[in-house]
Amino acid sequence: MSVRKVTVATLAGLKARNEKAVFVTAYDYPTATFADRAGVDMILVGDSAAMTMLGLPSTLQIGLDEMLVFIRAVTRAAQHAFVIGDLPFLSYQPSDETAIRSAGAFVAAGCDAVKCEGGARVAQRVRAMVDAGIAVMGHLGLTPQNLGQLGGYRVQGKSLAAAERLLRDAEALERAGVFAILLEAVPAETAAFVRERLGVLVYGIGAGPHVDGQLVISHDMLGNFVGDISPRFVKRYAEVGTNVERAFREYASDVRAGVFPGPEHCYPIDPADESLIRAARQTRKARPAARSVPAVEARP
Ligand code: KIV
């Protein structure tokens, strides 16, 4: 059966019908396949891969080439979902040409759109990418590539003045040609204030219900993020990390106890051949056992 690919027009249609878009991050082929089969509308290959997949301390340490590995895996999997590649730190800020080349590499790797962080100060880069024919999503509110300036993972847009600043940035992005804006970690009322004043699609991650769709980092909802960050806006739908660790412990215990592999995990052969090989094992001289290895520390 052929699967309909989500486009910008599909997303606009959802908004027109007052239906919420379902948006998750994914970085690898299996997760993107499961998300796609589950019918999610959009997949972000986020630079959060730095933390979720590579164990790095922030998103600032991932580069374009590493992102491209994740992007190729996800675009290979996504038959239905609209795939957005997240431009990493310094892949678009330096110049219009850098932005077009970086975004172009993501599109060549199969992305339907790219995302970049910031408002008025990146508007010129957004315009350059849009003029090159690339669909761009803006990202405002908590923008982790500016963590130093923001002073940490803090909720943004908490006062009317801050909400108005957010709106001015959103309007600059809209004028520059973005098809959508993602608001991260802002109060629900602020997100509603911004969305009601824009013509473009507005999605949220930790921005409350009054937006056109919800994004969540898949590791947060699936319970397989290894780290201490646990945002208030995350709802857990699975305990993948706990289950994976339990499975590895059970496997280790089975191997050490000699109960894995069992007969059902061994390849059967013709009984006559089996008898001949068994007899040969007994009659032919085996190699002497390996010399004893040095003592090792006890296992954990
Ligand atoms: O990299 C990412 O996953 C993101 C989301 C946190 C919005 O940018």
Locate the domains of the chain by residue range. 8-238, 253-285
Paired tokens of 8: 């910008």
SS3 state at 64: helix
Ligand 1 atom closest to Cα of 44?
A: 3
Nearest CA owner, ligand 1 atom 8: 46
For residue 224, CA distances in Å to 187, 240, 253 come to 26, 5, 22
Pairing of strands 136-141, 201-205: unpaired
Query: How remote is the CA of residue 62 from the centroid of ligand 1, in Å?
Result: 13
- Omega prior to 268 cis, within 30 of 0: no
pLDDT at 54 (0 to 100): 98
Is 184 near ligand 1, meaning CB less than 6 Å away? yes
Ligand 1 atom closest to Cα of 49?
A: 1
pLDDT at 151 (0 to 100): 85
Ligand 1 atom closest to Cα of 215?
A: 7
pLDDT tens track, the chain, 300 positions = 678 999 999 999 999 999 999 999 999 999 999 999 999 999 999 999 999 999 999 999 999 999 999 999 999 999 999 999 999 999 999 999 999 999 999 999 999 999 999 999 999 999 999 999 999 999 999 999 998 899 888 999 999 999 999 999 999 999 999 999 999 999 999 999 999 999 999 999 999 999 999 999 999 999 999 988 888 899 999 999 999 999 999 999 999 999 999 999 999 999 999 999 999 999 998 888 766 555 556 565
pLDDT at 295 (0 to 100): 58
Q: End-to-end alpha-carbon separation of the chain, Å?
A: 49
Residue 236's CB is within 10 A of a number of other CB atoms, namely 11
3-state helix, strand, coil split of the chain in percent (to 5) is 45, 15, 40
Query: How remote is the CA of residue 243 from the centroid of ligand 1, in Å?
Result: 25
The topology (CATH level 3) of 8-238 is TIM Barrel (3.20.20)
Is 169 near ligand 1, meaning CB less than 6 Å away? no
Is 205 near ligand 1, meaning CB less than 6 Å away? yes
Query: How remote is the CA of residue 232 from the centroid of ligand 1, in Å?
Result: 15
Query: How remote is the CA of residue 29 from the centroid of ligand 1, in Å?
Result: 18
pLDDT at 289 (0 to 100): 74
**Options 117, 171, 174, 184, the catalytic residue:** 184
Query: How remote is the CA of residue 201 from the centroid of ligand 1, in Å?
Result: 17
pLDDT at 257 (0 to 100): 98
Paired tokens of 113: 């759109």
Q: Residue length, the chain?
A: 300
Residue 184 designated active-site: yes
Query: How remote is the CA of residue 114 from the centroid of ligand 1, in Å?
Result: 12
**Backbone φ and ψ of 183, nearest 5°:** -105, 125
Ligand 1 atom closest to Cα of 115?
A: 8
Paired tokens of 48: 């959060």
Ligand 1 atom closest to Cα of 184?
A: 7
Pocket test for ligand 1, best of 53, 59, 122, 147 (most atoms within 8 A of CB): 59
